[in-house]
Structure 1
Amino acid sequence: MPIVQFVPFSSSVHPSFWHELTKLKIDVLKLDSSRVPITASYTAGKTVLDRETGNEIGLGCHLTLGEDAFKVDASRPAKHATKISGTLINFNTIEEFKSSDKAALFNDLADKFWSSVSAAATSSSSTTSPPPQLNTFLLLTFADLKKYKYYYWFAFPAFMASPPWEIADPGWGLAEDAFGREGLEGVREQLGGLEGQDGGAEGSFLVRRGKEGYEVGRLGEWAEFFADVPEEDRVVAFLDPSSTLNPGWPLRNLLSHLSSLQPGKPLALNILSWRDTELPTGNKRWASRYGRISLPGATAELEGKRPTAVGWERNAAGKLGGRMADLAPMMDPTRLADQAVDLNLKLMRWRILPSLDLEKVSSTRCLLLGAGTLGCYVARTLMGWGVRNITLVDSGKVSFSNPVRQPLFDFEDCLDGGKPKAACAAEHLKKIFPGINARGIEMAIPMPGHPIPPSEVEKVKSTVKELEELYDTHDAVFLLMDSRESRWLPTVLGTAKNKYVMNAALGFDTYLVMRHGPRQGTAPPADAPEQPTHARLGCYYCNDIVAPSDSLTDRTLDQMCTVTRPGLAPIAASTAVELLVSMIQHPLGYTLIFAPPSSGKDDEEGHSVLGAVPHQLRGFLARFNSMTIIGAAYDRCTGCSDLVVKAYEKDGFSMIQRACDETGFLEELTGLKELYKESEAAMEAVDWDEDDAEGDF
């Protein structure tokens, strides 16, 4: 028969415990290394559902220590948790911690622990004798209070049966198959009234099958509770901290206690591994497990003697050895903020999206072209996602109308002509979170339809070189400017360098958010997990047959200012960031720019772990809705066509200068001029009926 495998405990120590140990060391223990009683707790093992794979992911088999660990008599475990008493030995030097006779300390604890178990077995004549303490632990520590480093090693003594326990028929499986959903619901309801020690959950209890369903009782009431109950209707249950197929560590000592009641005799038990502290919802099955296990009998030389004990915790490398908790970063407010800002993201991963790759998001280097309303909101949302590298580019200064709409500026920034927007926004990002690597660059991007004066050619040439270098050192580029022509050069550069270009534009009560597609003729690596089959996605200019030109000269006041509903910019900015993050989580991994577009349907393929990855989103505040649109690239596009990109790569700045200076250059380059002539010729060739054109007006 298969041997029962047990999942060992792993320690989970809250930082507050180390703070309390520091106080105890300084104020009470000083140089005293005597044993100190402490308490810990554990609860039922839990799993979370991975929305991407549909698989359940276990959250470990933890014994948890918190700030109340030293309040042995006053501490109360949380709901559905069981308290365990243990022993702390805090050494005065790291050498004492390393050289201490750990085997002797462990065996001494195991001997005392076995004595209590044996004493409980010999006094079991009473039908209502209290259950013994079936679990304990040893914690060895050294506190380096100068560096706020804490070295520690846990031991969770558990006794080994010889020969080992075996899984008997019908095997080890889900309890729901044996008890039924209603039966488990009955067990759970009765457990609510069966409070354990100090108000916590019962660490172990009994279950019997009666005429009206299942009934529960305390482990110390064995004889009375199981009187006249057939063996097949007797069940021994325990709160199981394991989340895997195998039972957790506490079952070892429970079995040792039960076998000590009948030393040397074969034993068979029905075991309920209780894990349902929360009711399962929907189609999810109950997590508790059930099986029958047997012990053929103890060898003669072990009868009456303490069995072999095991239980030293392994470290992160999987080896027997201590661990180290470094609280020094938490003492620095900047480092403390660095950990705290990601709390929401980590909770998101733990509770909802276990496969969410936060490191990919935080390591993405983002270039924001535009530090106005859109730029400010994009930067704030990127920080919320844990992005640590943000560069802002803008040519403007903060004006008095900005602070109420642009959250990275305040009134003081408007004085004396206004601070440069990009540098000011970066400064405020660092005030919000000192751990951010933010910088602002004052730059005027050359634009088609805006001729470059001869005296400014060298300066603009230097600007283009600097912009190219920024593209090379960043992963994602956000186009957040307030004019159509200012997006042309950034679009060309993004296509040439295959960068992730996110475009956001505002109307009065509408917005556009889109991602640009890859360069024509490029494809993801052959070893990419998925190969896209969709057409190349278009850019901001692909829907136009008119080249970008001067839209800024001779504007009225309402045209010079971006007139929009105040809530539109944060919606569009957040949507742009969320689209980028969804791309980062896409299965294509390092080839995110090739992620296929999706319309948002739940059953559609190509989603990331966060859901749909559309090409374009057009929002309408007047109707409070949005549309997902897919647009193919245009081979004569003035922004992303191969004609434009190759001309840029061949001629460099001179091509950019011609686009700015010469009206009609981009139309001539892309063939749009010929398209216009063909259209005019087609219109002239139409035989118009003049009579139909006339009418009463």
Structure 2
Amino acid sequence: MLLQFHPWASAVEAPFWQVLTQRKMDVFQLDDTHKPILGYYATGQQVRVPGRDTSVALPARFCLGTGAFSDESVSEHHNSTSRIPAFMFPAPGIVKNTNTIEDFKSIDKTALFKMTVDQIWDDITSGRSLQDPSTLNRFLLVTFADLKKFKFFYWFAFPALQADPAWTATAMEDITSVWSSAQVDSLRQQINQYRQTQPISQSGFFLVKETNDVFSVARLQDWDEFYAECDESQVTVGFADPSALDSHPGWPLRNLLALIHYQRKMTKVRILCFREIAGKQDMTASKLFTAQVPSYVPVTACPKAVGWEKNAQGKLGPRLADLAPLMDPARLADTAVDLNLKLMRWRLLPDLQLEKVQETRCLLLGAGTLGCYVARSLLGWGVRNITFVDNAKVSFSNPVRQPLFEFEDCLEGGKDKASTAAASLRKVYPGVNAVGHAFSIPMPGHPVSPQLHESVQKDIAKLEELFQSHDVIFLLMDSRESRWLPTVLGAKMKKIVINAALGFDTFLVMRHGIGQDREHQRSRGDPPLGCYFCNDVVAPTDSLSDRTLDQQCTVTRPGLSAIASASAVELMVSLRHHPDGVRAPADKEDSEGDREENTAGGQSSALGLLPHQIRGFLSRFKNLLISGQAYDRCTACSDVVLEAYEKQRYEFLFKVFEDAKHLEDVTGLTKMKEESENLDMEWDDEDDEAMEDM
């Protein structure tokens, strides 16, 4: 009878599509050239029908899993072994992932198929398939990944060479009807030993020889030596058979017969269809039969081939895997966030360090208008760790200006802003680690009563702890003095501090320097950058008491906070990309307003200019890039302030809280002012004498 074969049924594991997505986003990008891939299969299985004394053959499953793509960091042998599950057999192939659905539909599939067939034929004629029989299982996969909708269009081809004339076969016999139980057990042991000692690429194909009821197993390439004293009737070629049918062997046999016919010029061969129950040392389901052709016909050109898989409707056509309904919505959000960012890296910003930005731990001091918009911009950059600090409650005027709050948050006195903002972020994106802390930041010129000293010390300790555990601190408060202690801590711990402040139609966004930073000066030569207080010659003091209504609220044009917040986040991301980090020099503007990169001390950021300060003027729709040096008498980042904080800590801080002028005394500003006043008086005396002479 005509020999017929059980075709493959592709079985793509859902995690494979996730791996393909990662490869597409991180490696392939717009590269649609074909890539190597590894599939696997098991021997055929039958399952019993419950309640009936019959069995049903399972499909010949061809699988792709998480190990489909190679890991170039390990050897090929170890790589292949570790990429497929136990008791499985390898099948190398190629995948061509198209960039658009139109490309997927219009791709020259015939050419791709012929390329794979030619490779199989070349392996057979060159003898490469004897050295690596797994190449007989070469396959082709064409895909299109719609990463926004998590739909994957795909079409498998399993090329098989057609014999002319076709092979015929005797009826398939159970192995137990040909050999005794002891012989079958002996053969099983030999096959197991063969699989354990040979590379996995050899495991699916082998030679069998029986001598006086003793079996031995060898590689295809050992044919001449193995069968040196045997005639053709003693030749048995085995293969791992994925079919479980009683009448049809599996698809891998087609190319194996082509190899035997071409290399050995045989017209008749006994075939062992090796089928095992995985893990149970049972191969009694294996089959034996004899395949033959009428005569040997030399083949000089590549034969015709078949092998495109049919779809679920039984027609030649692609299949669709729609994973969106099966995926965890939180995981969908993760992937979608990463997708938008990684698309930026494909063509526009290949040096974009998305992982570094994503892992940045951001501390937001202030959960008001600036805090809300900064947090949303951070989410847009994929930042996963955001912490709020704010001691206020949500008021009825907040929701329209602060997008993390709603009307219900204002009821019953209002919810805590920090924890509510964090909860809202988690609603927007469940993958974010957002937390909120409700406590006050002590300020210069705001005395602390003795009975509250212990509580304030705990708040300070908590703030110090948060600084230590975060990479970037955003100062988003609504008063000048509330920024003083965070500025001191940022300079002391050498943290990235991004400051944003609003006027009615102006804003300031700046990155703080880290004080005098003499180590930086010695290595770079350029002056260190200043902080928010470096341009002042007066200490920050109480600006919150005795304020009118317009002074109690931050009165700004509604769009200004969003602009300033976005600028603050973009400044942080640019700074994270600079090799010098917090010590990066400032890029400037020339006299005509054209931007110039200051690369004298090092590389600029991959994202472009990296200024020190951005001063925005909404009334003129204009931004100015300004650079300011650190001031050695700064009330926040000068050496004397940092030393006083380090040595005296709470004693020093409570003096500052009691009277902000203590900062002017410590930094020498008081003495400088006195000297300036004396100088003015001396000039006044001289002027008086001159007038008398006239």
TM-score range, shorter chain: 0.5 to 0.7
**1:628 corresponds to which of 625, 628, 643:** 625
1:355 paired with 2:351, answer: yes
1:546 partner letter? V
Paired position in structure 2 for 1:83: 109
Q: Secondary structure at the match of 2:386?
A: strand
Paired position in structure 2 for 1:596: 585
**Does the 8 A contact of 2:394 with 2:415 survive in 1?**
yes
**2:510 corresponds to which of 494, 509, 514:** 514
1:628 partner letter? L
**Does the 8 A contact of 1:507 with 1:563 survive in 2?**
yes
Paired position in structure 1 for 2:501: 505
Pair 1:603–1:643, CA change in 2 (3 A): closer
Paired position in structure 2 for 1:171: none
Shift of 1:455: 1.1
**Does the 8 A contact of 1:12 with 1:65 survive in 2?**
no
1:332 paired with 2:328, answer: yes
Paired position in structure 1 for 2:97: 64
Shift of 1:602: 5.2
Paired position in structure 1 for 2:538: 546
Paired position in structure 2 for 1:21: none
Pair 1:614–1:109, CA change in 2 (3 A): closer
Provide the TM-score with structure 1 as the length reference. Answer: 0.56
Query: What 5-or-longer segments of structure 1 have no aligned partner?
Result: 1-6, 14-28, 37-60, 69-75, 88-105, 116-135, 142-147, 160-301, 310-324
Paired position in structure 2 for 1:418: 414
Whole-angstrom CA distance in 2 between matches of 1:523 and 1:329: 56
Q: Secondary structure at the match of 2:683?
A: coil
2:530 partner letter? G
Q: Secondary structure at the match of 1:341?
A: helix
Whole-angstrom CA distance in 2 between matches of 1:350 and 1:632: 38
Shift of 1:355: 1.3
1:358 partner letter? L
Shift of 1:351: 2.3
**Does the 8 A contact of 2:33 with 2:96 survive in 1?**
no
Provide the TM-score with structure 2 as the length reference. Answer: 0.56
Pair 1:447–1:10, CA change in 2 (3 A): same
Shift of 1:691: 12
Q: Secondary structure at the match of 1:685?
A: helix
**1:33 corresponds to which of 60, 63, 80:** 60
Paired position in structure 1 for 2:563: 571
Whole-angstrom CA distance in 1 between matches of 2:564 and 2:661: 33
Pair 1:622–1:479, CA change in 2 (3 A): same
2:497 partner letter? V
**Does the 8 A contact of 2:529 with 2:628 survive in 1?**
yes
Deviations 1:525-545 (A, max 9, x none): 99xxxx643211000000000
Q: Secondary structure at the match of 2:414?
A: coil
Whole-angstrom CA distance in 2 between matches of 1:572 and 1:668: 34
Whole-angstrom CA distance in 2 between matches of 1:391 and 1:655: 28
Whole-angstrom CA distance in 1 between matches of 2:489 and 2:671: 26
Shift of 1:556: 0.4
Whole-angstrom CA distance in 1 between matches of 2:403 and 2:690: 58
**Does the 8 A contact of 2:521 with 2:528 survive in 1?**
no
Whole-angstrom CA distance in 2 between matches of 1:629 and 1:412: 42
Q: Secondary structure at the match of 1:687?
A: helix
Shift of 1:475: 0.3
Pair 1:630–1:109, CA change in 2 (3 A): closer
Paired position in structure 2 for 1:536: 528
Paired position in structure 2 for 1:10: 35
**1:403 corresponds to which of 381, 399, 404:** 399
Shift of 1:445: 0.5
Pair 1:84–1:557, CA change in 2 (3 A): farther
Shift of 1:111: 4.5
Pair 1:30–1:467, CA change in 2 (3 A): farther
Pair 1:30–1:674, CA change in 2 (3 A): farther
Paired position in structure 2 for 1:319: none
Whole-angstrom CA distance in 1 between matches of 2:672 and 2:97: 73
Pair 1:592–1:157, CA change in 2 (3 A): farther
Deviations 1:12-42 (A, max 9, x none): 99xxxxxxxxxxxxxxx99333899xxxxxx
Pair 1:11–1:569, CA change in 2 (3 A): farther
1:585 paired with 2:577, answer: yes
Pair 1:682–1:79, CA change in 2 (3 A): farther
Query: What 5-or-longer segments of structure 2 have no aligned partner?
Result: 1-31, 39-55, 64-93, 126-137, 144-149, 162-297, 306-320, 590-594
**2:634 corresponds to which of 627, 634, 637:** 637
How many residues are paired up? Answer: 430
Whole-angstrom CA distance in 1 between matches of 2:157 and 2:667: 74
Q: Secondary structure at the match of 1:342?
A: helix
Q: Secondary structure at the match of 1:596?
A: coil
Paired position in structure 1 for 2:456: 460
**Does the 8 A contact of 2:95 with 2:140 survive in 1?**
no
Whole-angstrom CA distance in 2 between matches of 1:519 and 1:330: 53
1:484 paired with 2:484, answer: no
1:687 paired with 2:689, answer: no
1:109-188 map, 5 Å: 110-111=120-121, 137-138=139-140
Pair 1:561–1:404, CA change in 2 (3 A): same
Answer with 1 or 2: which has the greater Rg: 2
**Does the 8 A contact of 1:329 with 1:335 survive in 2?**
no
2:375 partner letter? A
Pair 1:670–1:86, CA change in 2 (3 A): same
Paired position in structure 2 for 1:252: none
1:674 paired with 2:671, answer: yes
Paired position in structure 2 for 1:366: 362
1:63 partner letter? K
Whole-angstrom CA distance in 1 between matches of 2:61 and 2:574: 54
Instruction: Kindly report the root-mean-square deviation, in angstroms, between the aligned alpha carbons of the 2 structures.
Output: 4.1
1:533 partner letter? G
Whole-angstrom CA distance in 2 between matches of 1:35 and 1:650: 70
**Does the 8 A contact of 1:11 with 1:64 survive in 2?**
no
Deviations 1:622-655 (A, max 9, x none): 1100100010000000010000001000011111
Deviations 1:550-579 (A, max 9, x none): 001100001000111101100001000000
Q: Secondary structure at the match of 1:626?
A: strand
Shift of 1:472: 0.5
1:635-674 map, 5 Å: 635-674=632-671
Paired position in structure 2 for 1:383: 379
1:236-251 map, 5 Å: none
Whole-angstrom CA distance in 2 between matches of 1:30 and 1:685: 109
Whole-angstrom CA distance in 2 between matches of 1:34 and 1:357: 40
Whole-angstrom CA distance in 1 between matches of 2:510 and 2:99: 47
Whole-angstrom CA distance in 2 between matches of 1:691 and 1:566: 57
**Does the 8 A contact of 1:330 with 1:336 survive in 2?**
no
Which has more helix, going by share of residues? 2
Shift of 1:491: 0.4
1:626 partner letter? N
**Does the 8 A contact of 2:448 with 2:654 survive in 1?**
yes
**Does the 8 A contact of 1:11 with 1:154 survive in 2?**
no
Q: Secondary structure at the match of 2:458?
A: helix
**Does the 8 A contact of 1:599 with 1:629 survive in 2?**
yes
